[in-house]
Each structure stands twice: as C-alpha cells, then as structure tokens.
Amino acid sequence: MSASPDPAQAPAKEAAQEPAKPKRANPLEAALPWFTAGLAVLGGGFYWGYSFKAQERPSLAQLQEREQQELTVLGWKPAAEGVLTRWCTQDCNPPKLFGGGIARVFEVYCQDRPCGTIRATFRVLNRDGKEIGTTTASKDGLQGERLRLVVVSPEPQAQRLELKQFTAQAVVY
C-alpha cells in the first residue's frame, strides 16, 4: 500500500518551504536619518540668513539721516535745533472765516528736544504780496510731540501768511 499524503500535513510542508519574510523596520527608525539631515540643513539656512541680515543692519547715524530725508520729503523744515515746522498738508480742518480773512494750520514737530514755549510770528500778505499786518500764535510743546497752531488773521484783504519769526525755548531746570 502506498502512503497517501495526509492533507493536514501538506500546508505545514509548504510553509516550511517558503522563505521567511524579513522583519519590517519601524517607519520612524527609517525616517530618522532624513529628519536629522533636514534639521541640519534648516539650521544652516537660518544661520546663513541671519549672518546676511547682521551685515545689512544700518548704523544709528544712517537711520537718523534716513529719517531726516523722509521728513524733508514730507515738507518738514528745520526751524531750530531739534525742531521742525511746516504748513499743514493733510487733515487740517482750519476754521472758516466769514466776511474775509484767512486761517491756516501751522505744524511744529519737537523731534529731538522739548520745545517749551513755541512762539511764531507771521506776516499777513494781501493779493499783491504786500505786508498788511502780523499775527502771532503760541503753544507749549514736549519732546516727540507734534503740535498744530491755528493762525488766524481777520483782515478782509488777507490772502496769504508767511512765517516771520519762530522761537521754541524750553526752560531747563
């Protein structure tokens, strides 16, 4: 009698003949070298960018010069040491005068020092440019403050105002 193969033993023999599957590596372990290399490249990029920024950083003198140029472009003119002036150009809202006269807004910027008592004298000019009178405006100012002086002349023939004299005297104790 021939020996017939036992059906229960057949799958065991096939399993023994198949090569063993390699053990799967942990995905985090496989990604660790790439992650480390990425962090090193990122850190190098930050260092490289920061070193360029440090070289481009302007000095204090350059910053002050740039600020002065910007203020000059905006129409500010030096009137005294550390004090700038200009006629108002935006959102001035001067009062309306009925029956003639003129009203304008004059701005003072106490940039580098306290202004103290600001006193500005203006010539009042007619249509032909002749002086027909004077008017004075005054106010107290602190350092860093931008002040607005409302200059009014009720003269009916007044057409223009022109700065005649400007003083900003701070009392230092």
Sign of the dihedral through C-alpha 70, 160, 90, 81: positive
Q: How does DSSP classify residue 20?
A: P
118-to-51, 57, 77, 93, 135 alpha-carbon distances in Å: 47, 37, 16, 21, 14
- At 8 the pLDDT is 55
Sheet containing strand 83-87, edge to edge, reads 77-80, 83-87, 102-110, 146-153
- CB neighbour list of residue 28: distance below 8 Å, 6 or more residues apart: none
Write the burial class of residue 145 (CB in 10 Å: 0-12 exposed, 13-18 middle, 19+ buried): middle
Question: What's the whole-model pTM score?
Answer: 0.62
Q: What is the mean pLDDT of each run of 10 residues along the chain (173 residues)?
A: 55 58 69 79 77 72 86 88 88 80 91 89 93 92 90 89 89 61
The correct CATH number of 60-169 out of 2.60.40, 2.40.128, 3.30.70, 1.10.3470 is 2.60.40
Question: Whole-angstrom Cα distance, residue 68 to residue 73?
Answer: 9
- The answer to whether the beta carbons of residues 167 and 119 sit under 8 Å apart is yes
CA nearest to 155, candidates 121, 125, 119, 128: 125
